[in-house]
Amino acid sequence: MSLAKPFDGATDTSKPYDRIAVIGAGAWGTALASVAATAGRQVRIYGRDPDTVEAINSQNENTRYLPGVVLPPALTATGQLSEALMGADAVLMVVPSSAVRKVAAEMKAYLPPGVPVAVCTKGIEPETGFLMSQIAAEELGEMPVGTISGPTFARETALGHPTAATVAFEFRHLDRLNPHQSPAARLAVSMSTASFKTYISDDLIGVEIGGAIKNVIAIGCGMMTGAGFAENTRAALITRGMDEMKVLAEALGGRRETVTGLSGAGDLTLTCSSQTSRNMSLGVQLGKGIPRKACFEGRAVVVEGEANAASVIALARRVNVTMPICETVHAILHGGAELHSAFAELWTRPIEGEPRTLDISLRNPAQARAPQTPGKTP
């Protein structure tokens, strides 16, 4: 006996983009390219490493970043940026945050006007306080610029595990009049498969803020886990960390409710719950007392949250926003603060009302007591 399929209420149609260029052949770029190819798009991925390009084309595998994951045969790779962008209807830009400005400037010469660019990189530029989409928009001019963000590990996405993500672009006047043909809607349709579920947002700032801050909170969760604390502590950091996301998003013109979605609460929960995340893993190692240089067995592993901690705090101070958890993580990573005492200070901050409408701040009596060593029974 089969159950009747309920009517889902969707009546509008949106035209997908046929040809998608993916700039960046790391793990997440390759995963997104695989999703787009599975969705039936013509996909060309650009990578700087000749061996990676060759492996994708000859073995249908990114042996360096996603070993063991079979990629769709229709997915092709190139080492030439111009070739990847030639004839593209939409672009996914998936390069390290430190390279977004440079690569966007290089892309401009090869992109015809109006091609939407989704910057699928998370972070804040230290010098300017710009989000990744703002950097790309400054370099690309009038191109529609957005993002794809959500609770996504690259390997799980590429393997076809059910995954959901948000496609966000600012809606211009014509997008408001015809939303199902907006870049956000068209790219969402272009990337949808039986296992990759897309949602649409017009709050680009809110979506990007979640992605930029969650790595910092994840390092903090890892630190407390490594120091011997358990689920209560992690739940508190996730919940209050999400509030810090909301406050900063709102200060920059985003919406608080956006942060409760996939790119905020979803991504934060995932990153703070698994050592598959390099940010969580780094925090755990630091919490155990392993020196930073010895983390990851001494390998030079880039952890985005380390740099993000500095840029997030610089931006928060610039717009007069207080972010106690991020400040604590930043103080440990970059200010030489001792981990146990820094988190003890966090827990003895003034008592506040949780709803923003309750404007109250009380002296915390715990502040006057001698701090206990975390993880130890007094």
Q: Are 131 and 209 in contact (CB under 8 A)?
A: yes
Helix (H) or strand (E) holding 362: strand 361-362
* Residue type (1 letter), 68: G
Active-site annotation holds for 214:
yes
Q: Which has the closest alpha carbon to 201: 151, 261, 279?
A: 261
Judged by DSSP in three states, 333 sits in: helix
Q: Are 284 and 292 in contact (CB under 8 A)?
A: no
The span from the CA of 295 to the CA of 285, in Å, is 6
339 conformational bin, left if phi > 0, alpha if psi -120 to 50, beta if neither: alpha
Annotated catalytic residue: which of 102, 108, 214, 246?
214
CA–CA distance from 212 to each of 85, 151, 209, 311 (Å)?
27, 13, 5, 9
Judged by DSSP in three states, 169 sits in: strand
Centre a 10 Å sphere on the Cβ of residue 239 and count the other Cβ atoms it contains. 12
Give backbone dihedrals phi and psi of 193, rounded to 5 degrees, phi first: -135, 180
Partner residues linked to 211 by β-bridges: none
Q: What is the 3-state secondary structure (H, E, C) of 242-301?
A: HHHHHHHHHHCCCCHHHHHCHHHHHHHHHHCCCCCCHHHHHHHHHHCCCCHHHHHHHCCC
Which residue's entry shows tokens 């907006």? 182
Which residue's entry shows tokens 């740099």? 307
Strands 163-169 and 145-149: antiparallel
Judged by DSSP in three states, 113 sits in: coil
Catalytic residues: 214
